[in-house]
Amino acid sequence: MFVYADNAATTCVSKAALDAMLPFLTVSYFNPSSLYSSAQKVAEAVAEARETVAACLGAKSPREIYFTSCGSEADNQALVSCARLGARKGKKHLISTKFEHHAILHTLKALEKEGFEVTLLDVHEDGVVRVEDVAAAIREDTCCVSVMFANNEVGTVQPIKEIGALCREKGIPFHTDAVQAAGHIPVDVEEMNIDLLSLSGHKFHAPKGVGVLYCRKNIPLFSFIEGGAQERGKRAGTENVAGIVALAAALKESCDHMEENAEKMIAMRDRLFDGLSKIPHSKINGSLEHHVPGTVNMCFEGIEGESLLLLLDKHGICASSGSACTSGSLDPSHVLLSLGIPHELAHGSLRLSIGEYNTMEEMEYIIETVPKAVQYLRDMSPVWDELQKGTRQHLC
């Protein structure tokens, strides 16, 4: 059996998205900036996509929607814009959290090198940032608060509306990385007091390489890429028309079917939690109370997450571990550590992220396969041996 359970990393392109984009790769390949009527029809398709995205996000105007090349670009542009705007007023302090995506954390690192000050808030054990902690961190010179909507590793949802209200009251631009939220749970920039928001098409069944930055009308956006007047001069470069049109179609489809998809995914996710938490000395990471429908994150004591992934791959299961093995570092995931999970335990993490295309049959296969794989690895693990002998203390 082949089971794709890594939907937080990327998703398949939906039929609706593919159908929407195909004409712009074939017959309607014209540059939307050209003046002839065939090209103007392409420009109209982009305008329509902008309206669709604005409506899905509850934005007042499509003029607040900027298409980018990815979620990372939107994150970068949002933070750097707020920082430059702040610097003009002598405000050089930004607030974010320890468990953001690297697109946020590394941008903040770069800003620090340019003389900005950054406060990264702790995350509580339940995987949720507290509004009081944001309030306590705000200073006279704070020029931006950025808190992710839903975390990509543990799936916890943050009190965005409340943090937004606080920032509004203080007059500080509020950005949220909503890449894991958009299309999965309700997002409304007006109701939730959001000033800037990032999303990425490939996390909700559009192709890779297209994202959105929402920026409220009263906030000046700084351009990253200079050139033509595309995206009202805030993002030069001939539009990725097919990607943009597909993103809008995928977002609309996800939003139209949000409730039924969530219901289906929650049933599968709960089955996974139920089955996998029977593994002794395992731990569920992040509170299930505030959670996106599809993400399951657990730790299994005495094993390495990477070994588990390789073993699961042999059995046809695509999953992820929270750890930063790809960056060549042996450190466990910064997200799990920010939740206060001890290093030894965080090493043995597994993230399964499911989508509406998964089936309950696949969940049963996972529940059958993972415990065997964990046991196999524990049988060879010196750490597990010590835990069994009692020369090492159990952490869960």
Ligand X SMILES: *Cc1c(COP(=O)(O)O)cnc(C)c1O
Residue 212 DSSP SS3: strand
Residue 298 DSSP SS3: strand
By residue count, the chain amounts to 396
Is 325 part of the annotated catalytic residue set? yes
Q: Report the candidate in 302, 288, 283 with the shortest Cα–Cα distance to residue 396.
A: 283
CB nearer ligand X, residue 71 or residue 183: 71
| Beta carbons of 181 and 149 less than 8 angstroms apart | yes
Return the structure tokens found at 53: 């995205």
Cβ neighbours of 55 (radius 10 Å): 15
For β-strands 174-177 and 142-146, DSSP reports them as parallel
Q: Please, what is the minimum distance in Å from the beta carbon of residue 234 to ligand X?
A: 18
Does an H or E element contain 78, and which? Answer: helix 71-88
In angstroms, how far is CA 47 from the centroid of its own chain?
26
Q: Please, what is the minimum distance in Å from the beta carbon of residue 23 to ligand X?
A: 24
Give the Cα separation of 114 and 43 in Å (integer).
Answer: 38
Q: Report the candidate in 96, 104, 74 with the shortest Cα–Cα distance to residue 158.
A: 96
Q: Which of 12, 318, 325, 396 is catalytic?
A: 325
Give the Cα separation of 205 and 185 in Å (integer).
Answer: 15
Q: Please, what is the minimum distance in Å from the beta carbon of residue 201 to ligand X?
A: 7
CB nearer ligand X, residue 237 or residue 371: 237
Q: Please, what is the minimum distance in Å from the beta carbon of residue 74 to ligand X?
A: 8
Q: Report the candidate in 221, 217, 188, 248 with the shortest Cα–Cα distance to residue 73.
A: 221
CB nearer ligand X, residue 56 or residue 70: 70
Classify burial at 23, counting beta carbons within 10 Å of its beta carbon; exposed 0-12, middle 13-18, buried 19 or more. middle
Q: CB under 8 Å to 245, separation ≥6 — which residues?
A: 20, 21, 24, 45, 46, 49
CB nearer ligand X, residue 177 or residue 301: 177
Q: Please, what is the minimum distance in Å from the beta carbon of residue 54 to ligand X?
A: 19
Q: CB under 8 Å to 63, separation ≥6 — which residues?
A: 217, 232
CB nearer ligand X, residue 175 or residue 378: 175
Using CB under 6 A, list all residues that contact ligand X. Answer: 70-72, 75, 101, 103, 148, 152, 177, 179-180, 200, 203, 211
Give the Cα separation of 149 and 156 in Å (integer).
Answer: 8
Q: Please, what is the minimum distance in Å from the beta carbon of residue 212 to ligand X?
A: 10
Give the Cα separation of 15 and 207 in Å (integer).
Answer: 11
CB nearer ligand X, residue 172 or residue 179: 179
Q: Which residue's beta carbon is nearest to the bound ligand X?
A: 71
In this structure, which amino acid lies at residue 106? H
CB nearer ligand X, residue 42 or residue 210: 210
Beta bridge partners of 106: none
Q: Please, what is the minimum distance in Å from the beta carbon of residue 178 to ligand X?
A: 8
Return the structure tokens found at 116: 């900005």
CB nearer ligand X, residue 77 or residue 307: 77
Q: Please, what is the minimum distance in Å from the beta carbon of residue 139 to ligand X?
A: 26
Active-site residue list = 325
